[in-house]
Amino acid sequence: MFEFVSSTLIKMKLCVILICAVLHSTEAKTVHRDILVELCSDTEKEAIYGLDGEELWHADFSQGTGVMTLPDFVDPMAYVEGTYEMSVNNLEICKANLAASIKANDNPAEPRVAPQSSIYSKDDVELGSNNTLICFITAFYPPRIGVWWTKNNANVTDGVRFSRFYPIGDGTFNLVSRLSVIPEKGDIYTCTVEHVALDRHLTKTWDVQVAMPNVGPIAFCGVGLGLGLIGVIAGIVFLIKGRNFSSESD
């Protein structure tokens, strides 16, 4: 009887906990941000759909089709048929609105936001082993930018790749450039960025640095062992002197 009552009480407590969890979850609010970016000019056009800063779909105007850019591990989804055609029509509307807006506002200056950049290796550096350098360029507008690489002051074009422009919630963009490398001691790489919002080119430098083994613990143990041996030797000397002194006293 006691075991039955105890089991029932446990089940009742679990039931209360589950109910509270459900009630708590219904009160939680999650905010997501949809992204639609349509860019147009006399020479450029872009259409991107995204969610929470991640690109979901873009229009490939050179191939005449829409491209899903979700990674393989997410739940599959697809945009409705006609999304690409709608993007084409929207860009024509964008051009018409842009021309009217420029005329109405007496050709205002284009907004400009200067980029920031950083350069780092994808993997830990091992001399003579394949690696990838990443130049991360962030928070710039307009999405027109020049990027080039050098190795030991010589321009490099082989093994260079570029991502698409990634829109950020504040209206600026990110870009990633990658360079395939085989690091050797003494090599120096640079990633240089050119943008209309910069007074001068923005250059970041990366040189080959291989992490050396940590000699601190080894040195500490060596010093400790040396001091220990000195202490042992000193003890032996004092012991011998003590015995000699006792013998002379006798």
Residue 210 has pLDDT above 60, yes or no: yes
Higher per-residue pLDDT: 246 or 99: 99
Confidence grade of residue 242 (pLDDT, cut at 50, 70, 90): low
Give the range among 49-58, 89-98, 108-117 with minimum mean pLDDT.
49-58
Strands 34-40 and 54-60, bridge-based pairing: unpaired
In the chain, which ranges are continuous DSSP H helix?
A: 2-27, 83-104, 216-249
Confidence grade of residue 151 (pLDDT, cut at 50, 70, 90): very high
Dist CA 59 CA 39 (whole Å)? 11
For residues 142-151, give the mean pLDDT: 94
Paired strand residues for 36: 49
In 32-174, which ranges are continuous DSSP H helix?
A: 83-104
Sign of CA dihedral 149, 150, 156, 158: negative
For residues 82-106, give the mean pLDDT: 90
Higher per-residue pLDDT: 121 or 165: 121
pLDDT digits 0-9 by tens, 11-62: 333 334 333 344 444 455 778 878 888 888 777 788 888 877 778 888 988 8
In the chain, how long is the greatest CA-to-CA distance?
Answer: 119
Closest Cα partner for 178 from 201, 207, 154, 157?
Answer: 157
Chain mean position to CA 237: 63
Ordered by where they begin, the domains of the chain are 34-104 (3.10.320), 116-207 (2.60.40.10)
Residue 249's Cβ-side half-sphere holds a number of Cα atoms within 13 Å equal to: 6
Residue 128 has pLDDT above 90, yes or no: yes
For 250, residues 6+ apart whose C-beta sits below 8 A from its C-beta are: none
Residue 64 has pLDDT above 80, yes or no: yes
Higher per-residue pLDDT: 50 or 1: 50
What pTM did the predictor assign? 0.62
- Calculated CA dihedral for residues 191, 193, 198, 203, nearest 10 degrees: 10
Closest Cα partner for 48 from 168, 135, 145?
Answer: 168
| pLDDT at residue 211 in the model | 54
